[in-house]
Structure 1
Amino acid sequence: MKVLGFMTGTSLDGVDMAVLDTDGEAEVVFGPWAELPMPKATRSLLEETIQVALKWPRGETEPAIFDIARQAIVECHFQSASEFLARHGMGFADLDVLGVHGQTVLHERPKNGVKGRTVQLFDGQAFADLTGVPVVCDFRQADIEAGGEAAPLMPVYHEALARNAGLELPLVVINLGGVANITAISNKGLVAMDTGPANGLMDQWMRRHGRGDFDHEGRIAASGHVDGDIVAAYMAHDYFKASAPKSLDRYDFTLQAIEALSFEDGLATLSAFTLQSLLAGIELTGVMPKTVILAGGGRHNRHLVNQIAQALAPAQVRLAEDLGWRGGALEAEGFAYMAARSLKGLPISFPGTTGVKAPLTGGRVSYPKTRRQSLAG
């Protein structure tokens, strides 16, 4: 099955796309991939939408801006995919299905017996009608309804990659996105969780100071001094006392604690917080990895990567590319893989990854009006 997967992260920097030939099980064959920048107008709209979402009380009518944002995201995905496919001599007719994560604007984990709440804005039916290709989206909602965390979802794909690569267990895959998450793979199965902020807070700090969108290779953070008291205060957050699996919203932590620091010291302190929260998460899994694989945009932060390698020695820390994986494409590939699994009714979340009581499938399928057919077979 030829699947085009899409991912737009909480950093709002672009649309990741990757083609995967997969059966949603053992078969994983890489096709072309790319990241195209998100239009500034779309990004501004989503930033506004997120602020509205953060103030949206439970039980009240969905804010009107959500639907406006949905249509903008669909148009952004359509334009990006059209350009991407044309660049590689392909068209939508070459694809069997599209797997779309949608844009997360709100994520609240279950708490005190109350189900969580998660919102990934997208309109699968509109996208299916535009492209003429079936669309699988809304991957997290079934897990939320079943009492799970609905995140992270990548572990099932991480396991497939590790299995195909013949890697020795146990190992840990770290995704350094806006939020950092980990997948621990051992003979006992999968354990996964969000560990804390990764690029999200550091990128916010860069933009606040008008110094660009990210700290290139972590050079600025490397030049600053870490405020250990602030790192300790961050680590005193109740989230770090909770057991795994567990999930975060990018906005669960703020910049307030570092407001009085210099630009350089602020970045150094945030980088140290990312490291400490990662180490705490790995310890919580109970796994002592032989290999640690880094994916996500943060793998380009050489300062952070060096800190992780030093802290986790003697484990071997490798970038995704060292294994022939595509670190920038991994999440788009993952949702392509999960789209195939969804069509076959296979699970995408598990007790050890989201806390759901039993393995659970997910994803809502929309068929185009001109091409309504079942691919599940």
Structure 2
Amino acid sequence: MEKPPSNITILVIDDNPTNLEILDYTLSVAGYKVQTEEKGENVIQQIHFSLPDLILLDVLLPDVNGFELCQRLKSDPITESIPIIFMTALVDTVDKVKGLHLGAVDYITKPFQKEELLARVQTHLHLRQLSKTLEIKNQQLTELTEDLENRVAERTAELKQALDKEKELNQLKSRFITMASHEFRTPLAIISSSSGILQEFSDRISEERKQEHLQTIQHTIKHITQILDDVLMINRVETDKIELRLESADIIDFCRRLQSEVAASNKQYTINFSVDLGEEIIANSLLIQFDKKLLRQILANLLDNAVKYSPNHNLVNFSLSKADDKIIFKISDYGIGIPQADQDKLFESFHQASNVGNIAGTGLGLSIVKKCNCSHSPTKKELGSNRDR
């Protein structure tokens, strides 16, 4: 017979001291650790402090009979898995069946036969070990299944996100094609017309008219270039290819130069620039770290929109202030406003509001501002009524 491990504990419950002595000796010699007890109530009170691997239980006890004790142990989640072997001198089959129904795994009849006793004990201990191993494997399998299910769910979510992204990109491409066919056709026609006039009638028109056509061509090319820059910026933001390049510069001088550039291109408008930075201004200058190119793209879009969507008003306010250690740029106009129905789509690429009429626009301005602000800009923009429609 295979030698049992020395860490196996067997609890023997019998009110007969002689039986306890015999069982203690026999099991100890076989290599088991043995605990003995004569009363059932003591077992109930103490078993949680030292759980055995197997219990040998006499049917007839002085306080609690073996059937009742077995039932109580099997109803306790802590002890329900411990195999119980009944010991009895009874030969009545009814008693044996009753014990098995209550959860016992086997019976041993007194007087004991050493070989039979040890064989049954070893068999049920082995079965319990197999059961424990199976439970562990089942637990591992459950955990593995849950892990696989979580991975599948995560992968499914990733694929759905990728499909949604692809669908969104396809929609953007479609809207870009629609926008491009509209926005490029008119300026290209203007360039073609002015260049054709200069080519065919250069000897017949005045120098002043030639300059007007050349300025028209330059202005139109600048407009197309701005559209392309906006599209490229949206693409870089969408693919996370914008790198923040901070440098130290005078933010007040930067804003004044930008205000002058926008005003020069829109002579019929007044761009009113104001500064409120409190005591931090020294000689009308404030050095901070910022990305000139990125900030120019953001503010230029806002200022251009303020001008573009204010056809009946020629004043745009542009202010620079500070609050809670943040630089605040505020641009406000007196333009056509934004319908309530369009405000949910305010920052969508290529979206224009329903009230813009014949005012040209790509629908990219505020989308660029929003995406750049969320991704990289270290400054805070406070928008007025100026927005792409």
Please state which band the TM-score falls in when normalised by the shorter chain: under 0.3
Which has a greater percent of helix? 2
Return the structure number with greater relative CO, CA threshold 8 A, min gap 6: 1
Task: Name the TM-score, length of structure 1 as normaliser.
Answer: 0.22
Which has the larger strand fraction?
1
Structure showing greater Rg: 2
TM-score calculated relative to the size of structure 2: 0.21
